[in-house]
Amino acid sequence: MGFVVDSKKGSGSGGAGGSSWGFRCVMRRKQVDSVHVRSGVRQLAKELTVLQLLAIGVGSTIGAGVYVLIGTVAREHAGPSLTISFLIAGIAAALSAFCYAELASRCPSAGSAYHYSYICVGEGVAWLVGWALILEYTIGGSAVARGISPNLALFFGGEDHLPPFLARVYIPGLDVVVDPCAAILVLLVTGLLCVGIKESSFAQAIVTTANVCVMVFVIIVGGYLGFRTGWPGYELPSGYFPFGVNGMLAGSATVFFAYIGFDSVASTAEEVKNPQRDLPLGIGIALSICCMLYMLVSIVIVGLVPFYAMDPDTPISSAFSSHGMQWAVYIITAGAITALCSTLMGSILPQPRILMAMARDGLLPAFFSDVHKRTQVPVNSTIVTGVCAAILAFFMDVSQLAGMVSVGTLLAFTTVAVSILILRYVPPDEMPLPSSLQETINSVSSRYGTGSEVIDQENPKDSADNSKDNTEASASDPLILKEHDQARLNEEKRRKAAAWNIAFVCVGVLLLTSAASAEHLPR
């Protein structure tokens, strides 16, 4: 564990038993400027700009789910109020995205939620989050890959007309349906990611642009059809909320997972040229684009066809077909294929970075931390990730394991939010800080004479001398000493007030969601 720094080092009695030592190991945190950065270990290539981050964020977020999710949620939960469901889910996703954006800009290193939880919470939680993310990306990528072949079969005239090396085959002895197309696509994406982050992000930008163009086509052509037909989906006796307010909120809870994907941007923080500026912009703009596209598409499709008449499997295609535009089905299917391909790339891209970060910190073998000299990509981690995902996509019906993806996502989002609270309300002298930020704090403190209590972790002797000088200066002037004590008291009161406010907000959210689920609310 050479890269881990025990933030509580020196505390406690020397006679503590093995259980106390083990607890400290689980709770210890690492510095932001880890030893692997200062020791000359090969780093990832800094090639990404805001536009490339937008391609990664939008491509990872807008998957084929939107081509299916609209029909299911509108029929079972929201009805015409599906647009508001997308808006509420987008606001909730934005709150989590803001947390990712701040941590990614303050701690620009590979690892995403694993890296942030290791810095702010501790090694034990970081270990759990890291493996939860690995499970999420592996299963999510395999599930996406297995969804490509049925859509691709449409261009060949059906599943029976696919080329033999791409068609699904049932193996009676194993009672499984193997999918060679899914495995081949995963291996192709893995090879592309091994070439370099600049090349793979360019390819994802092309695929994402094609997907966005299809969604713009749906919005423009569907809007024209809606104005020509008088928007029959909104002229219903049941009103705008046929399932009540609780149905609309239930729909927002379901469509929230359509926004998952912006964390892929945070995982590339070490490869961004200007992370303090580009990462918040990339995450924020990507999420805004996705929310706007989701809302516009839902407005159009729900208005073209009454919610109860929607096809839950192909809502967009069936909506155009019902208005005599059968040719549009091929364009929409092409959009679904490009969406699946971009999501597949977004699922495989972050996982090697997480494996590399865990290996750098000593939680995995050093084999996974190796960065290729020419491409500056963690090739070993990428190959292992791709092979495992390809095997899973080839043999298994991953829909049975897809529920674990939600568990990993919720764990990661919760940990990131907790990390932000720790950064806000834990005293600075208990929080590991990067040396550059520590120097800035010390310089500002000395300039304004605030008598900061922050300890320089690399030069504790200098910090002690400065503290001694400040104490002597304060002793010579009782008024300064009194103001210093009053400022410290006010700071403690502020932290207590913040803790109570956070607790009240959590209780309020719990009461609000419980009330929204009550059946007595009017429709």
Check if the beta carbon of residue 335 is closer than 8 Å to that of residue 214. Answer: yes
- Residue 248, CA atoms < 13 Å, CB-side half-sphere: 19
At 288 the pLDDT is 92
Alpha carbon distances (Å) from 148 to 159, 186, 323, 412: 12, 11, 27, 27
SS3 category, 111: coil
At 361 the pLDDT is 81
At 495 the pLDDT is 73
Convert 8-21 into a string of H (helix), E (strand) and C (coil): CCCCCCCCCCHHHH
Check if the beta carbon of residue 413 is closer than 8 Å to that of residue 264. Answer: no
The candidate with the shortest Cα–Cα distance to 289, out of 281, 277, 300, is 281
If phi over 0 gives left and psi between -120 and 50 gives alpha, with beta otherwise, what is residue 56?
alpha
Q: Which two tokens stand for residue 110?
A: 């590979």
Whole-number Å distance between alpha carbons of 75 and 82: 10
Length of the chain: 523
Residue 330: count of CB within 10 angstroms of its CB: 12
Whole-number Å distance between alpha carbons of 222 and 517: 33
φ and ψ at residue 111, rounded to 5 degrees: 125, -20
SS3 category, 39: coil
Whole-number Å distance between alpha carbons of 334 and 323: 20
At 216 the pLDDT is 92
Q: Which residue has the tokens 């910190």?
A: 361
Alpha carbon distances (Å) from 36 to 28, 356, 366, 404: 17, 11, 12, 32
Alpha carbon distances (Å) from 183 to 64, 189, 282, 391, 407: 18, 10, 31, 7, 25
Q: Which residue has the tokens 């997907």?
A: 211
Domain boundaries in the chain?
A: 43-425
At 292 the pLDDT is 93
Mean pLDDT for back-to-back runs of 10 residues, the chain (523 residues): 38 47 60 50 77 89 80 84 90 90 82 84 84 84 81 72 76 79 89 86 89 91 87 79 84 84 83 86 91 91 86 82 83 87 87 87 83 83 90 74 68 85 68 55 57 44 49 51 67 76 77 67 52
Alpha carbon distances (Å) from 73 to 223, 247, 248: 21, 9, 9
Whole-number Å distance between alpha carbons of 145 and 385: 14
The pTM assigned to this predicted structure is 0.76
At 4 the pLDDT is 40
Q: Which two tokens stand for residue 512?
A: 């609000």
Domain range 43-425, CATH class: mainly alpha
Whole-number Å distance between alpha carbons of 379 and 364: 15
The candidate with the shortest Cα–Cα distance to 218, out of 63, 335, 85, is 335
Whole-number Å distance between alpha carbons of 56 and 46: 15
Q: Crossing angle, helix 180-195 and helix 379-395, to 10 degrees? A: 170
Cα–Cα–Cα angle for 268, 272, 273, rounded to 5 degrees: 170
Q: Which amino acid is at 146?
A: R
Long-range contacts of 326-335 (CB under 8 A, 24+ apart): 328/217, 328/221, 329/154, 330/154, 330/155, 331/214, 331/217, 332/67, 332/214, 332/218, 333/151, 333/154, 333/155, 334/210, 334/214, 335/67, 335/210, 335/211, 335/213, 335/214, 335/215, 335/217, 335/218
φ and ψ at residue 332, rounded to 5 degrees: -65, -40
The candidate with the shortest Cα–Cα distance to 90, out of 288, 297, 299, 339, is 288
Whole-number Å distance between alpha carbons of 104 and 293: 25
Long-range contacts of 515-522 (CB under 8 A, 24+ apart): 516/245, 516/246, 516/249, 517/246, 517/249, 518/246, 519/246, 521/244, 521/245, 521/246, 522/244, 522/245
